[in-house]
Amino acid sequence: MHIDILTLFPEMFPGYLNESILKRAQAAGLLQIELHNIRDYASGKHRVTDEPPYGGGGGMVLKPGPIFSAVESLISNRQSPTVARLPIILLTPQGRPFTQKVAQELAQHERLLLLCGRYEGVDERVRQHLVTDEISIGDFVLTGGELAAMVIVDAVARLIPGVLGAEDAAEDDSHATGLLEGPHYTRPETFRSWSVPEVLRSGHAANIARWRREQALRRTWQRRPDLLLTAELSDEDRWFLGKLAAGER
Ligand code: 6GU
């Protein structure tokens, strides 16, 4: 997958993107990230990228010119099928909420373009005539879209086949199954008198799988009961939730 990121602050990115799994994904050729400074596409001696809003009211608004120029220089070949369906995504608190489902949807594309908003906002003509999608990472306000872009790159990249060690490692993730994940344990067997649950040391695969499922159901019921309304649940799951609700488990 190829991801172009347009930002006024490209230097915010390399520290995060060039470590760990994302570093390995890029080295393996599974992920290419290209950073583009919007200022490089601004005209005039001072390369101005933002101006006060028409009508007054303080703050600064990103000008349309540099953003259109930057995007158009990246997608000059509009005939290519990849470019025709290329998502051009504005990161903004007014966007649609980012979820694991949206990450899975974006992971299907060969290429993405992420446009980081800044200051008070972006000229409305960018929204109306350039971007194809707007995404927010939650109900809070950041100083700009850069952190949101990194969040999206991270969540999407780990869904690309081959990026995680075991191919199915993303399948049991919290949210991927519609439930939160249950607890994990590693060595030592007893730490400060606290022991690992017996079932995990039993070697009985079916019992372990059932225990993990029940722990995931329990944790979701305790912390995010809203998720149970849309999760895929078996009859056995519903029986267990019934016991939980009755205070019997
Ligand atoms: Cl995408 N941008 C900004 N500036 N703030 C946010 C956000 C995005 N998502 C949540 N808050």
Residue 142: which CATH number?
3.40.1280.10
| Dihedral over Cα of 230, 168, 102, 148: its sign | positive
**Would you say residue 64 has pLDDT above 70?**
yes
**Would you say residue 167 has pLDDT above 70?**
no
Reported confidence tier of residue 77, pLDDT bands at 50, 70, 90:
low
pLDDT of residue 215: 98
Domain shared by 133 and 207, yes or no: no
Residue 145 C-alpha to ligand 1 middle, in angstroms?
A: 5
Q: What is the DSSP string of 122-176?
A: E-HHHHHHT-SEEEESSSS--SBSHHHHHHHHHHHHTTSTTSSSSTTTTTTSTTT
Give the lowest-confidence range in 65-79, 93-107, 179-193: 65-79
Q: What is the rounded average pLDDT for all residues in the chain?
A: 95
Asked whether 150 lines ligand 1 (CB < 6 A), one says no
Asked whether 148 lines ligand 1 (CB < 6 A), one says yes
**For ligand 1, mutation pick of 114, 122, 133, 147 (most atoms within 8 Å of CB):** 147
The sheet that has 61-62: what strands, in order across it?
50-51, 61-62, 121-122
Question: What are the b/e assignments for 129-168, b being 16+ CB within 10 Å?
Answer: ebbebbbbbeeeebebbbebbbbbbebbbbbeeebbeeee
Has residue 14 been placed in a domain?
yes
Has residue 174 been placed in a domain?
no
Reported confidence tier of residue 170, pLDDT bands at 50, 70, 90:
confident
pLDDT digits (tens, 9 = 90+) for 3-44: 999 999 999 999 999 999 999 999 999 999 999 999 999 999
Q: How buried is residue 5: exposed, middle or buried, by Cβ count under 10 Å (0-12/13-18/19+)?
A: buried
Has residue 184 been placed in a domain?
no
Asked whether 145 lines ligand 1 (CB < 6 A), one says yes
Residue 121 C-alpha to ligand 1 middle, in angstroms?
A: 11
pLDDT of residue 7: 98
Domain shared by 102 and 221, yes or no: no
| pLDDT above 70 as % of the chain | 98
Residue 117 C-alpha to ligand 1 middle, in angstroms?
A: 8
pLDDT digits (tens, 9 = 90+) for 82-101: 777 899 999 999 999 999 99
**Would you say residue 78 has pLDDT above 70?**
no
Domain shared by 151 and 194, yes or no: no
Collapsing DSSP to helix, strand or coil, 7 comes out as: strand
pLDDT of residue 171: 77
CA–CA separation, 103 and 106 (whole Å): 5
Asked whether 136 lines ligand 1 (CB < 6 A), one says yes
By annotation, the residues acting in catalysis are 93, 120, 158, 173
* Residues facing 190 on adjacent strands: 195
* Helix or strand run (H / E) with residue 12: none
Residue 147 C-alpha to ligand 1 middle, in angstroms?
A: 8
Has residue 97 been placed in a domain?
yes
What pTM was estimated for this model as a whole?
0.94
Reported confidence tier of residue 169, pLDDT bands at 50, 70, 90:
confident
End-to-end CA distance of the chain: 45
pLDDT of residue 177: 83
Domain shared by 128 and 31, yes or no: yes
pLDDT of residue 157: 98
Q: What is the mean pLDDT of residues 68-85?
A: 83
Beta carbons within 10 angstroms of residue 96's beta carbon: 10
Tell me which residue range forms the domain holding 92. Answer: 2-157
pLDDT of residue 61: 96
Closest CA to 107 of 135, 90, 87, 93: 87
Domain shared by 152 and 205, yes or no: no
Phi, psi for 21 (deg, rounded to 5): -65, -35
Domain shared by 198 and 149, yes or no: no
Reported confidence tier of residue 203, pLDDT bands at 50, 70, 90:
very high
